[in-house]
Structure 1
Amino acid sequence: MKWEDSLDKVKGVGPKRSEALAKVGIKTVGNLLSYYPKKYIDRSVFGNPEHFFEDQEISLKATVLDTGRVQRIRGNLSIFSLPLLWENKKLSAVFFNQPYLKHTFQENQDYYFYGRIKKGYGSIKITNPQFVKASNPGVFFELTPVYRNIQGVPGSFIPKALKEIFCESLEIPESMPEVIRSGENLLDMKSALKAIHFPDKAEDVILGIQRLKFNEALKINMGIMSSAREKRYSEIDINLFTGLEPFVNSLPYDLTASQRLVIDDMVADLKNGQVMNRLVQGDVGSGKTVIAVIAACLMAQNGYQTAYMAPTEILAQQHGRSFKELLKNTGVTVAVVTGSLKAKERREILKQVALGQVSVIIGTHALIQQSVAYYNLGLVITDEQHRFGVKQRSQLSSKGNQPHTMVMSATPIPRTLALILYGDLSVSYIDELPKGRKPIKTYCYNEASLHKILGFVQDEMSKGRQSFVICPFIEASEELEAVRDTESVYLELLQKIDPKYRMACLHGRLKSEEKESIIQAFNQGRIDCLVATSIIEVGIDVPNVSTMVILSAERFGLSQLHQLRGRVGRGNHQSYCFLVTNSKSDDTLARMKVIVNNRNGRKIADEDFKLRGPGDYFGFKQHGLPKLGLLNPTEELALIKRTKEIAELIFESHNQEMMTFKNDVLKSFYIDIADISLT
């Protein structure tokens, strides 16, 4: 079989299965070979009964004490508990909805178990473990790849299909020049893929991953290098700068030195005759929005439109209000375009945009739809870029005649990673907060102190202030009962907080009109306490909010906690953030301490690197990195740097093999990279 062959040649792939595979991008033999395992089960790692970690997956050898007990919960649900002796420790193997196992185990027999260990209420449990008789383990201890589930495809299909592909004289051309491969001690591609999918030992996986990560890192660097070498000259003529300083002076506050330096960078970009591609990175609340307003005003003064794409409707509406307020005396018109607009209103706004009667257009993904035509687009601004795909940004840029581009990000990104995320964008940093802002006082407590925290929140509300209560989930989870959710907490607080204080609940499942209504009421001070998910992480800017309580704080990444905390402390009064967690994990408490002791996003990121490594750098959902399969750029900085050096050698080389390799890589770069959604 060949890399480009259709999966129709693989046994077991009919029309329905082919359609299911195509939905996740698997259409060819090469696509299936590139569907890497999400993890490997290594059952040869045995746990120590005297020292193990909560939620650790381990193997253990234990004796069955008796044949166990089946407990019916409700309906067809059941729990089968099997008492075990692990060396000198008693524990239970717990199986959900598998009552038939009651007749499987023999009393006083030894078995090997593999599963997740949990502690609670003085007992130890291993949940839903795999097991085998100790007298006949068979293949139990072989290294086993585990693949992500694909809807409509049996879990056994992928290993079987891959085995067939490798048995069918698989042909994989080796395109990487031999001088690079041997110099870096890399496997050839066929050997690397076999090591990934059919490893004999863990060392095989490491060697296979090393080759495939190298490919991805080199490809990223070559694509970025190609883009950076293409200097695009701008046909957008910005030559009127006399109105810039009067507008800056008319703002209701003074700009910081950092903000003025960013404006200087922008002006220099606009004067050099090339298309501006600039990333403005600043901490939460550092004043990035006003930079966007100034840029849009300058564009309007020169006769050009600005399109500002926000990741959510909440943020788009928020920016719409901010822009209109700051531009109200300039004659610069602002319109907000989102997916929830009524058809008639939307048509009217789009007509004004097409005729050039609107200078600043703010919206979500609606801005890149085919129906949106611009009169004279000069600048594209994307906010919180890590929530957009590269393709989406390029689609918006293509709406005009190579408009200038500015990207706003509050996520603290090291310069090396900024290059990976944003390609050839120049980077400006805002590293100070506006004058008059007081540092947010941050504390960490367990839930036993929640009644005291709520008392403090009510004291603040009695002064006319407002509050946030943040939960990681929208509704209760049976699997994670201890994790707080907005619906339960909202009902709980209705009982615990004085009814004179007005409350509301906000989360992503609400209709757009409901969300906007709640946010508007909160902005106008008609809601005192807002219980919400991390939906408020971006887009709510209410200077009157003085307290934030984050429940189950351990469920959020450090960067996300810092972003959430940035929703308070936007006024001149003292603000407070309470992190509430019942976790006793040393790792969790160390992370909470980082947030309590640090205000600067960069310092928090540095501490996160030290504590957990850069893999968890972007928090719970890992916003923003093109994880192209096996490569996670946050964990591979040395590889990124090394492949950058090799990419430079390839671009400078006149060797025919090197030039052919470069051309082959760059042909595929746009197709692959443009479709990456950085979410």
Structure 2
Amino acid sequence: MPDLDSDIQYLKGVGPAFAKKFAKLGIHTIRDLLLHYPRRYIDYSKPYTVVSAPFDVDCCVKATVLQRDPDRRVKGGRMLSHVVASDDTGILSLSWFNAPYAAQKLEPGTEYYFEGRVGGTLTRREILHPIIRTEEQVAAVPLLPVYGATEGLPAARITRCVQTALAYVDQLEDPLPPALLTKYRMPAKAEAVRAIHSPRDAADAAAARRRLIFEELYLLQLGIFLLRGHGRQATGAPMRPMDLGPFWRSLPYAPTGAQRRAAAEITADLCGETPMNRLLQGDVGSGKTLVAAAAIWFAAQNGWQSAMLAPTEILARQHAANLADRLEPFGVNVTLLVGGMKASEKRVALAAIADGRAGLVVGTHAVLTDSVVFHNLGLAIVDEQHRFGVRQRGILAGKARNPHLLVMSATPIPRTLGLLMYGDLDISVLDELPPGRKPVRTWFITGRKRRDMYGYLEKQIAAGHQVYIVCPAIEENEVDSGMKAVKKYYEETVCPLLPGRRIGLLHGKMKPKEKDEVMQRFKNGELDVLVSTTVIEVGVDVPNATVMVIENAERFGLSSLHQLRGRVGRGSADSCCILVSDNESEGVRSRLSFLCHTPDGFAVAKYDLETRGPGDFFGEAQHGLPTLQIADLVQDTRTLTVAQAEAKALLAVDPSLSRPEHKALSDEVERLFSATGAMN
């Protein structure tokens, strides 16, 4: 008989074919299926009347079937099935395409519950492809769970498989200490999982969610603190206090107060007994690299090497050139190490790193390879933190004995979210822009103004400036027809509307070397226009670029739009960002209008988090921490605070979760983080 960790294909009703579909949802075992929680519930216990059902909202309507119309073939070859139902308030039209069995099982004169998105008119409502339930089914299960589905694996099939899997639920060990369950009046793990999949009522579902949200945040905080504890031994790079005055006085301009404050926090950490573990967070253009340069200078004066890891080769080259200007006058040799170097250049660089002549090594993932051996690495710096996971940071830190670690991010996030994403780090924030940095004007237009916009772009190019144009997709078949596929847009729109101009194309399916070559040509001024997907989002500095055009702007989170906007406005000329969208949704227009009037990245991120939810930040596990299954960072901040406090309290008495009574807890933390490689 299968157990919790058996392959999902051995669960009755699954088999090898559906197991492959479940794998697309990250479900490989029976345990994974039990821990795949419902996204929402359909509450059949409180149905709407036909007329009271809200438009364009998923809801349940109770009505009696009047008649079934004969199936008929419609334009495009699809088969349309149609049923008319009603109640005392109005008529409900029900339609299905290529699903004749759904309509055939409905009996005229019988009352049913229909769930779906309601459209139509005030007197005649309609639902396309409704979910149907009988009075008996609703009496047995008033709250129907709805799961995230995938192609070939509909939500109804997932629901049936989950109900089968509940036979194994009592095998789930409860990782939470009994004292916590008592203290916060929470149900046991098996009881909570059973209730979230098959609740008796809304209160039952709420109690289960509360317990499982607490557990997820508690495990996450324990894992974060354990990761942080890996470097809590005495540092292998002790440093002595030193005045940063000589470094600041060498600059052609005065640093901001925020830069001085962040540098002071960092150097205080560098003089501590344990390794620094700090995040330097600042909006686009706030001067994070200068603060990093101050830290590198400080480490060099103390006799230690530094390393900086950048996500792309072109960004690594940019950092190396900028840092060399700042540091080489002080005798700090800056060495570049990237994959695209010649073998002879690489040998020279590796030798300089190994014998200590390289005071600073700037590179890409090439720095993480086994061939790189440092003489005395004291400070490791990771730029664009969200592009690297916890494990990659660990590899860099593993190049020495407990070196100091500084990670930098231009992704502005609210502090609460920062504590969760970067909970293994202390946080410094650059909340001032350097003087002289001009704000980027932001406009929102529809496609009807596109030709006028291209006239403006032509004028900018004629004045000697450069232009970015960003599209969200690469190929037409990846998206719906409303999105601008970057290749097609480049060929059919940009080139015809800007004849004679030098136009480059950049997208994520190009090889890294090809991408770097195109970006370098744009940076060198050899291209007037760069048509690109979001691969240009990360930090490359092109001061001559003055316009950022973003097509289908509604497809991006506000934080992503703000990051893209930050690619311009880096020189002395006035710059602007143009958001293009034909989406007529009031919510979309409100979001884009907000960005037009708000230059502050932290305000943008807060608004984005509140209106779009945490998915914009946690949609991809780029940050190296586990993706949350059930916790909502907007709604559950109070639970997060409690979970953090309880995690700290437990680790104060059992720092490595090594006590026998905490084995189940330790195993769950390991399981949660295993997919990221963070605990390796």
Q: CA deviation at 1:402?
A: 0.9
Partner in structure 2 of residue 640 of structure 1: 640
Equivalent position amino acid for 2:617 in 1? F
Equivalent position amino acid for 2:575 in 1? S
Q: CA deviation at 1:534?
A: 1.5
Equivalent position amino acid for 2:70 in 1? T
Matched, 1:233 2:220: no
Q: CA deviation at 1:299?
A: 3.0
Partner in structure 1 of residue 58 of structure 2: 57
Query: SS of the residue aligned with 1:542?
Result: coil
Q: CA deviation at 1:349?
A: 4.0
Equivalent position amino acid for 1:629 in 2? Q
Say whether the 8 Å CA contact 1:2–1:171 is kept in structure 2. no
- The superposition leaves residues 22-62 of structure 1 with CA deviations (integer Å, 9 ceiling, x where unpaired) of 998767654443343455555676586677455x4344558
- The superposition leaves residues 529-583 of structure 1 with CA deviations (integer Å, 9 ceiling, x where unpaired) of 2111121111321111111111111111111111111111111221111122222
Partner in structure 2 of residue 445 of structure 1: 445
Unaligned runs of 5+ in 1: none
Query: SS of the residue aligned with 2:509?
Result: coil
Q: Structure 1 residues 126 and 8, CA, compared in 2 at 3 Å: closer, same or farther? A: closer
Once residues 368 and 600 of structure 2 are traced to their aligned partners in structure 1, the CA distance between those partners, rounded to angstroms, is 34
Partner in structure 1 of residue 373 of structure 2: 373
Q: CA deviation at 1:411?
A: 2.1
Once residues 70 and 478 of structure 2 are traced to their aligned partners in structure 1, the CA distance between those partners, rounded to angstroms, is 27
Query: SS of the residue aligned with 1:308?
Result: strand
Say whether the 8 Å CA contact 1:421–1:626 is kept in structure 2. no
**Equivalence map 1:438-517=2 (5 Å):** 438-477=438-477, 480-517=480-517
Partner in structure 1 of residue 537 of structure 2: 537
Q: CA deviation at 1:81?
A: 4.1
Equivalent position amino acid for 1:36 in 2? Y
Partner in structure 1 of residue 412 of structure 2: 412
**What's the TM-score, normalizing by structure 2?**
0.83
Say whether the 8 Å CA contact 2:227–2:424 is kept in structure 1. yes
Q: CA deviation at 1:188?
A: 0.9
Equivalent position amino acid for 1:499 in 2? P
Say whether the 8 Å CA contact 2:389–2:622 is kept in structure 1. no
Query: SS of the residue aligned with 1:215?
Result: helix
Once residues 43 and 204 of structure 1 are traced to their aligned partners in structure 2, the CA distance between those partners, rounded to angstroms, is 15
Equivalent position amino acid for 1:274 in 2? T
Q: CA deviation at 1:628?
A: 3.5
Q: Structure 1 residues 348 and 648, CA, compared in 2 at 3 Å: closer, same or farther? A: closer
**Equivalence map 1:379-418=2 (5 Å):** 379-418=379-418
Once residues 371 and 119 of structure 1 are traced to their aligned partners in structure 2, the CA distance between those partners, rounded to angstroms, is 67
Once residues 162 and 297 of structure 2 are traced to their aligned partners in structure 1, the CA distance between those partners, rounded to angstroms, is 57
Partner in structure 1 of residue 614 of structure 2: 615
Say whether the 8 Å CA contact 2:522–2:528 is kept in structure 1. yes
Q: Structure 1 residues 175 and 578, CA, compared in 2 at 3 Å: closer, same or farther? A: closer
Say whether the 8 Å CA contact 1:608–1:614 is kept in structure 2. yes
**Equivalence map 1:280-429=2 (5 Å):** 280-327=280-327, 329-339=329-339, 346=346, 349-429=349-429
Once residues 589 and 660 of structure 1 are traced to their aligned partners in structure 2, the CA distance between those partners, rounded to angstroms, is 56
Q: CA deviation at 1:329?
A: 4.2
Say whether the 8 Å CA contact 2:53–2:59 is kept in structure 1. no
Partner in structure 1 of residue 277 of structure 2: 277
Q: Structure 1 residues 590 and 455, CA, compared in 2 at 3 Å: closer, same or farther? A: same
Say whether the 8 Å CA contact 1:651–1:662 is kept in structure 2. no
Query: SS of the residue aligned with 1:618?
Result: helix
Say whether the 8 Å CA contact 1:281–1:430 is kept in structure 2. yes
Q: Structure 1 residues 240 and 5, CA, compared in 2 at 3 Å: closer, same or farther? A: closer
Say whether the 8 Å CA contact 1:286–1:432 is kept in structure 2. yes
Matched, 1:70 2:73: yes
Once residues 47 and 468 of structure 1 are traced to their aligned partners in structure 2, the CA distance between those partners, rounded to angstroms, is 52
Q: CA deviation at 1:593?
A: 2.1
Equivalent position amino acid for 1:217 in 2? L
Q: Structure 1 residues 4 and 86, CA, compared in 2 at 3 Å: closer, same or farther? A: closer
Q: Which moved more, 1:435-444 or 1:381-390?
A: 381-390
Say whether the 8 Å CA contact 2:468–2:531 is kept in structure 1. yes
Equivalent position amino acid for 1:67 in 2? P
Query: SS of the residue aligned with 2:428?
Result: strand
Once residues 307 and 378 of structure 2 are traced to their aligned partners in structure 1, the CA distance between those partners, rounded to angstroms, is 8
Q: CA deviation at 1:381?
A: 1.2
Q: Structure 1 residues 195 and 305, CA, compared in 2 at 3 Å: closer, same or farther? A: same
Q: Which moved more, 1:491-500 or 1:282-291?
A: 491-500
Once residues 505 and 120 of structure 2 are traced to their aligned partners in structure 1, the CA distance between those partners, rounded to angstroms, is 33
Query: SS of the residue aligned with 1:546?
Result: strand
Query: SS of the residue aligned with 2:280?
Result: strand
Equivalent position amino acid for 1:57 in 2? D
Partner in structure 1 of residue 557 of structure 2: 557
Query: SS of the residue aligned with 2:78?
Result: strand
Say whether the 8 Å CA contact 2:278–2:427 is kept in structure 1. yes
- The superposition leaves residues 375-397 of structure 1 with CA deviations (integer Å, 9 ceiling, x where unpaired) of 32221111222232222212221
Say whether the 8 Å CA contact 2:219–2:668 is kept in structure 1. no
Say whether the 8 Å CA contact 1:224–1:423 is kept in structure 2. yes
Partner in structure 2 of residue 180 of structure 1: 180
Q: CA deviation at 1:405?
A: 0.4
Query: SS of the residue aligned with 1:260?
Result: helix
- The superposition leaves residues 383-425 of structure 1 with CA deviations (integer Å, 9 ceiling, x where unpaired) of 2222322222122211211111001112223333322222342
Query: SS of the residue aligned with 2:442?
Result: strand
Q: Which moved more, 1:198-207 or 1:376-385?
A: 198-207
**What's the TM-score, normalizing by structure 1?**
0.83
Say whether the 8 Å CA contact 1:66–1:83 is kept in structure 2. yes
Query: SS of the residue aligned with 1:423?
Result: coil
Equivalent position amino acid for 2:236 in 1? E
Say whether the 8 Å CA contact 1:547–1:575 is kept in structure 2. yes
Say whether the 8 Å CA contact 2:283–2:601 is kept in structure 1. yes
Say whether the 8 Å CA contact 1:213–1:630 is kept in structure 2. yes
Query: SS of the residue aligned with 1:67?
Result: strand
Partner in structure 1 of residue 259 of structure 2: 259
Partner in structure 1 of residue 435 of structure 2: 435
Q: Structure 1 residues 223 and 134, CA, compared in 2 at 3 Å: closer, same or farther? A: closer
Once residues 322 and 96 of structure 2 are traced to their aligned partners in structure 1, the CA distance between those partners, rounded to angstroms, is 55
Say whether the 8 Å CA contact 2:296–2:379 is kept in structure 1. yes
Q: Which moved more, 1:61-70 or 1:100-109?
A: 100-109
Equivalent position amino acid for 1:369 in 2? T
Q: CA deviation at 1:67?
A: 3.4
Over the matched positions of the two proteins, sequence identity in percent amounts to: 34
C-alpha RMSD over aligned residues: 4.3
Once residues 405 and 553 of structure 1 are traced to their aligned partners in structure 2, the CA distance between those partners, rounded to angstroms, is 36
Query: SS of the residue aligned with 1:435?
Result: coil
Once residues 252 and 674 of structure 2 are traced to their aligned partners in structure 1, the CA distance between those partners, rounded to angstroms, is 41
Equivalent position amino acid for 1:612 in 2? T
Once residues 477 and 533 of structure 2 are traced to their aligned partners in structure 1, the CA distance between those partners, rounded to angstroms, is 15
Query: SS of the residue aligned with 1:599?
Result: coil
Equivalent position amino acid for 2:194 in 1? K
Q: Structure 1 residues 378 and 204, CA, compared in 2 at 3 Å: closer, same or farther? A: same
Once residues 140 and 80 of structure 1 are traced to their aligned partners in structure 2, the CA distance between those partners, rounded to angstroms, is 33
Once residues 18 and 99 of structure 1 are traced to their aligned partners in structure 2, the CA distance between those partners, rounded to angstroms, is 24
